[in-house]
Amino acid sequence: MTSAQEHFAAKLAYETDGSDVHAARKAGQRIAVVDVRSDEAWAQGRVSDAIHMHYSEIAARAPQEISPDTPVVVYCWSPGCNAADKGALEFAKLGYEVRIMIGGFEYWSREGYPVENADGVHRRPIDPLVGVPRIRTRA
């Protein structure tokens, strides 16, 4: 295997994106999606059905709340935030299979996937700079 192949294989082993997370959930795959941001950020909006666990709480809470055989995907605000890396490290220390959702909540919402806040679950319009608006069918 070339060094480029090794690099990208390793990267894909530890990263995913909103599209893949959405597809996995839609297909019924068992994954825990964990928002590692602050309480204030969580209240503004989050991935629908995510678990809120600030990265500083993972060591204490994760073993009680998430089965160790459940794959975990962590996210923070955006590509400019490293809280997902901090959270992923904490899950890895505990032995979880963990990946970071690149783009974070920003790209999840900009791509039109379900977001949740105190008002319920919503879909924001797809930002044409990050996704292609597609016709939604009722399914």
Domain spans in the chain, listed from the N-terminal domain onward:
14-123
128 pLDDT band, cuts 50/70/90, is confident
Q: What is the mean pLDDT of the chain?
A: 93
Rounded Cα distance between 36 and 86, Å, is 9
Alpha-carbon span 48 to 135, nearest angstrom:
21
**Per-residue pLDDT tens over the stretch 53-84:** 999 999 999 999 999 999 999 999 998 999 99
Domain 14-123: CATH architecture, name and number where available: 3-Layer(aba) Sandwich (3.40)
Q: Is 49 helix (H, G, I), strand (E, B) or coil?
A: coil
Query: If pLDDT is split at 50, 70 and 90, which confidence band does 138 have?
Result: low
Q: What is the pLDDT of residue 104?
A: 97
pLDDT-derived band at 130 (thresholds 50, 70, 90) equals: confident
pLDDT band at 129; cut points 50, 70, 90: confident
Closest by alpha carbon to 97, among 77, 52, 67, 76? Answer: 67
pLDDT confidence of residue 99: 98
| pLDDT level of residue 136 (50, 70, 90 thresholds) | low
Answer for the pair 117, 91: CB distance below 8 angstroms, yes or no: no
Helix/strand/coil for 58: helix
What the block records as the tokens of 107 is 């790209």
